[in-house]
Amino acid sequence: MGRPDPRTLEALGLAEAPRDHPLSYPGKWPQESGLLDGNRLLPLERLVHKDRVPVIAVGSIGCPAQLRHKMAEYEVSSPIPLVKARVTGLGVGVSAHVSLRGYVSASPFQAPGIVSELFVTWLDEAQLAVVDASEGVPARTEAYDRARLASDDFRIELESGELLAGAYVYVNRRGVLHDGSGAPCVHPGERPLLASLLAGPPRLRELFGDTPEELCTRARFDRALCARGTRLFAEEGLAMPSGLEELEGLEKYVGSQQTGSPGSGASLSPPWM
């Protein structure tokens, strides 16, 4: 027998996906840039891929196991480059909605001067259509829209020092949660986040129980309950705009771009949100 492949997600400790383990959200991210090829994370030959669309990973899109599952659902098997980047002007907040996967996900907010260590995922047309569908972009009533960040307002620097003229990011249509002082809450990881939320308004505990485990179990695949929880965030005054919406409206960042490849992206429906 040959030696085990050291580049598999299992060998790298990256095989657990938040979709299957909600309390692990946003999942484990790589320590270095790499090429996700099936179940392996390989070295990258180059950091910029001009034939692909750059998408900044704020939540579980930066988790190779989550990306692998998303693509497998639609039988998309092409490799995905993941490139480490420093993004100035963008913070990682808490989306003001409860996901059907049983977690409260991350969403970006405008944060002038703040530098976030993130990944840029370079997606081809088919991959972009899959991620758009999984985030609910084609359905205007779902949680996320895809927004374009321009270099005029956001500095996107790859680990090589190269600057991107722009990139996309998924922005929650319902805004983000605030920390009680009027500032967006920074996503601290799923377990401490849910524990903090459940220590707040009693109505949340009435819906989801007393512990993070109970919330994940009750929310998982219960669309009506997730919708009630999302409305409750707004009713309790916990939600606020991300700041991205306020910059001349979302149309500054969310253009009239097509979703995915013509004839395929529009037909994709989200298997989960």
- Whether the per-residue pLDDT at 4 is higher than 90: the answer is no
What is the pLDDT at residue 1? Answer: 57
pTM of the model: 0.88
pLDDT digits (tens, 9 = 90+) for 79-106: 999 999 999 999 999 999 999 999 999 9
Residues comprising the chain, all counted: 273
Share of the chain above pLDDT 90, in %: 83
Please give the angle made by the CA atoms of 69, 233 and 217, to the nearest 5 degrees: 45
Residue range 253-265, pLDDT digits in tens = 444 344 443 333 3
Q: What is the pLDDT of residue 6?
A: 94
In angstroms, the CA 168 to CA 181 distance is: 29
How many whole angstroms separate alpha carbon 90 and alpha carbon 154? 7
More confident residue, 209 or 261: 209
What's the one-letter identity of residue 220? R
| pLDDT exceeds cutoff 90 at 49 | yes
pLDDT digits (tens, 9 = 90+) for 99-140: 999 999 999 999 999 999 999 999 999 999 999 999 999 887
Query: Residue 152, SS3?
Result: coil
C-alpha distances out from residue 60 to 33, 48, 80, 115, Å: 16, 21, 14, 19
